[in-house]
Amino acid sequence: MAPLTEQLTRPAVHISGLTRGFGRRTVLDGIDLDIPPGQFVALLGHSGSGKSTLLRAIADLDHDVTGSGELRAPQRISVVFQDSRLLPWRRVLQNVVLGARGTDAQGKNPVERGRAALAEVGLAGRERAWPSQLSGGEQQRAALARSLVWEPELLLADEPFGALDALTRIRMHTLLRELWDRHRPSVLLVTHDVDEAIVLADRVLVLDQGRFSLDLTIDLAHPRSYRDPHLGEYREQLLSALGVEDDVSTTSVPTKEVQP
Ligand SMILES: Nc1ncnc2c1ncn2[C@@H]1O[C@H](COP(=O)(O)OP(=O)(O)OP(=O)(O)O)[C@@H](O)[C@H]1O
């Protein structure tokens, strides 16, 4: 095992010269990335730029790709997707504790951890509900609770709020940030929403042509508001890195398929 000082200072995620591709198509072209423990990072990029490919590589879920490079990630990783992926034939609590074993540092068994996690995301009392009895936002809350049960050192989130309406999404932003504050995992959040990235993350990366074209620190205090006038400066830099024209009235990354 590495000495304690090295364990405390070494990044949670270390990527060096990472290349990934499908057939003759190179998607990630020699990426370097270090994420310190507890850092909240957002990842923006046009559709097809390789955001999910990077997430899958970090989660070690990419056995169908070719590639090379160095990648080190923590052992305890949770992944949250755009759809909750709750099993419809299992009740909410059963979904949340699925696969969890043993006791945690406080001696809590998985069911106790599951109940506590559901309470943390505002779903206390819904343990015996079926997933179909939850709203879309509540299903994503349950998905976040399921990720907490594993006490992740790293949370990977692939557009977790992309299918929710704008108001629910804002509530989920507050919840995610509160959960991060309490548990302090490193987070890598893929999003198409520039404002979501600025409001939630302390560092925003833009992926373009297989490389990071921008690595931006968001130096604003939390909790952040969508009304904060300082958001504009960061929005400008990010939209410009994404090649989005000034007159576009949305802060979502428009669908521009990356050509092979
Ligand atoms: N299993 C696969 N086989 C072949 N090509 C793939 C496969 N998965 C992804 N690709 C290709 O790799 C490229 C990057 O895909 P990826 O899903 O990582 O992009 P993305 O940035 O997450 O896109 P989006 O924002 O639309 O989700 C795309 O061109 C996609 O078509």
| CATH number of the domain residue 62 falls in | 3.40.50.300
Kindly give the distance from the C-alpha atom of residue 48 to the centroid of ligand 1, in angstroms, as a whole number: 5
Spell 32-51 as b/e; 16+ CB within 10 A means b.
ebebebebbbbbbbbeebbb
In a domain, 3, yes or no: no
Number of other CB atoms surrounding residue 18 within 10 Å:
21
Q: How far is the CA of 207 from the centre of ligand 1 (A)?
A: 13
Last residue of a domain, one of 151, 166, 182: 151
Using the mean position of ligand 1's atoms as its centre, give its distance from the Cα of residue 119 in Å. 36
Residue to probe by mutation, ligand 1, list 18, 22, 205, 256, most atoms within 8 Å of CB: 22
ipTM above 0.95, yes or no: yes
Percent of the chain residues past pLDDT 70, beyond the cut: 91
| Any domain includes 23 | no
Quick one: 249 and 170 in the same domain? Answer: yes
Question: Is residue 9 pLDDT above 80, yes or no?
Answer: no
Tokens, residue 213: 């074209």
Residue 63 has a pLDDT of: 76
Rg (CA), the chain: 19
Mean pLDDT of the chain: 89
Measured in residues, the chain has a length of 260
Does residue 28 lie within any of the structural domains? no
Residue 14 lies in a domain: no
Q: Which atom of ligand 1 is nearest to the CA of 55?
A: 18
**What residues does 190 pair with on adjacent strands?**
43, 158
Residue 3 token pair? 């000495």
Same domain for 167 and 220, yes or no, is yes
* For the CA of 49, the nearest atom of ligand 1: 21
CA of 53 to the centre of ligand 1 (A): 6
The answer to whether residue 2 is domain-embedded is no
- What is the distance between the alpha carbons of residues 204 and 80, in angstroms, rounded to a whole number? 19
Q: Which of 100-104, 141-145, 188-192 has the lowest mean pLDDT?
A: 100-104
Measured in angstroms, how far is the CA atom of residue 65 from the centroid of ligand 1? Answer: 11
CA 179 to chain centre: 13
Shared-domain flag, residues 105 and 47: no
* Residue 85 identity: R
Q: How many CB atoms lie within 10 A of CB 227?
A: 6
Q: Which domain holds residue 147?
A: 83-151
Counting the structural domains of the chain, the total is 2
Residue 144 has pLDDT above 80, yes or no: yes
Residues with CB under 6 A from ligand 1: 22, 27, 45, 47-53, 64
Average pLDDT over residues 165-181: 94
Question: What percentage of residues in the chain have a pLDDT greater than 90?
Answer: 73
Residues facing residue 22 across a β-bridge: 25
Q: Is the pLDDT of residue 259 over 50?
A: no
Task: Look at residue 100 and tell me whether its pLDDT is greater than 70.
Answer: yes
Write a three-state SS string for 101-168.
Answer: CCCCCCCCCHHHHHHHHHHHCCCCCCCCCCHHHCCHHHHHHHHHHHHHHCCCCEEEEECCCCCCCHHH
Q: Is the pLDDT of residue 176 over 50?
A: yes
Strand residue runs (E) in the chain? 13-22, 25-35, 40-45, 66-72, 77-80, 154-158, 186-190, 203-208, 211-217
Q: What is the pLDDT of residues 114-131, one digit of tens each?
A: 999 999 999 999 999 999
Same domain, 160 and 254: yes
* Sheet strands side by side (includes 13-22): 25-35, 13-22, 66-72
* Cα–Cα nearest to 258, from 16, 38, 6, 51: 51
